[in-house]
Each structure stands twice: as structure tokens, then as C-alpha cells.
């Protein structure tokens, strides 16, 4: 999947004209579940076929933010 900085944009929710970038921005603001995404952008409030794709994007962004910081001490 492309990140927020990518030049490409993909419509995830056709019914509400919501793109992957809009979903990523919402996730970066703290939206972490489909219910909140539906409330904020309207994703999956029409036919619902976008739900799994939208959830995948949320999961990807949330997993990226949940990465533990690895500390490697220097040998000096
Ligand atoms: S494509 Fe998202 S509700 Fe229909």
C-alpha cells in the first residue's frame, strides 16, 4: 500500500468518494477502527463493500505506529 506521501491516490469507498489518503490521514489523527472511520468520513456507510479494504489500511497505519523502538547500544 502507498503511504501518505505517495503521489498515487486510490478510491477505497466509491459510495462516499473516500480515498486511501483520506483514510491514512484519519488514522494518523487517531482513528483506529471502522466505526470511527464511518463516523468521520462516511466510509462503509453505503453498500459496505469497502469495509475490508478500509480496515486493512487502518490496520497497516496502526501497525506502523505501534512498532516498538529498537535500541541498539553503540560499541564505543
Ligand atoms: S464503497 Fe464504501 S460504502 Fe459503498
According to CATH, the topology of domain 11-65 is Arc Repressor Mutant, subunit A (1.10.10)
Q: What is the 3-state secondary structure of the chain?
A: CCCCCCCCCCEEECCCCEEHHHHHHHHHCCCCCHHHHHHHHCCCCCCCCCHHHHHHHHHHHHHHHCCCCCCCCCCC
Pocket lining for ligand 1, CB < 6 angstroms: 13-16, 43-50
Whether the predicted pLDDT of 2 surpasses 50? no
Rounded distance, CA 36 to CA 16, Å?
Answer: 15
Report the separation in Å between the CA atom of 44 and the middle of ligand 1, taken as the mean of its atom positions: 5
In a mutational test of the pocket of ligand 1, which residue from 48, 54, 56, 57 has the highest number of ligand atoms less than 8 Å from its CB? 48
pLDDT digits (tens, 9 = 90+) for 37-53: 999 999 999 999 999 99
Average pLDDT of the chain, as a whole number: 88
Could you tell me the CA-to-CA distances from 52 to 7, 72, 76 in Å, in that order? 23, 37, 48
pLDDT digits (tens, 9 = 90+) for 18-35: 999 999 999 999 998 999
Atom of ligand 1 nearest to the CA of 18: 2
pTM beyond cutoff 0.85: no
Domain locations along the chain: 11-65
Amino acid at each position: 500500500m502507498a503511504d501518505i506521501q505517495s503521489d498515487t491516490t486510490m478510491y477505497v469507498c466509491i459510495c462516499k468518494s473516500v480515498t486511501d489518503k483520506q483514510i491514512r490521514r484519519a488514522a494518523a489523527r487517531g482513528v483506529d477502527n471502522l466505526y470511527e472511520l464511518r463516523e468521520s468520513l462516511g466510509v462503509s456507510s453505503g453498500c459496505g463493500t469497502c469495509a475490508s479494504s478500509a480496515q486493512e489500511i487502518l490496520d497497516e497505519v496502526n501497525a506502523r505506529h505501534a512498532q516498538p523502538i529498537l535500541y541498539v547500544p553503540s560499541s564505543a
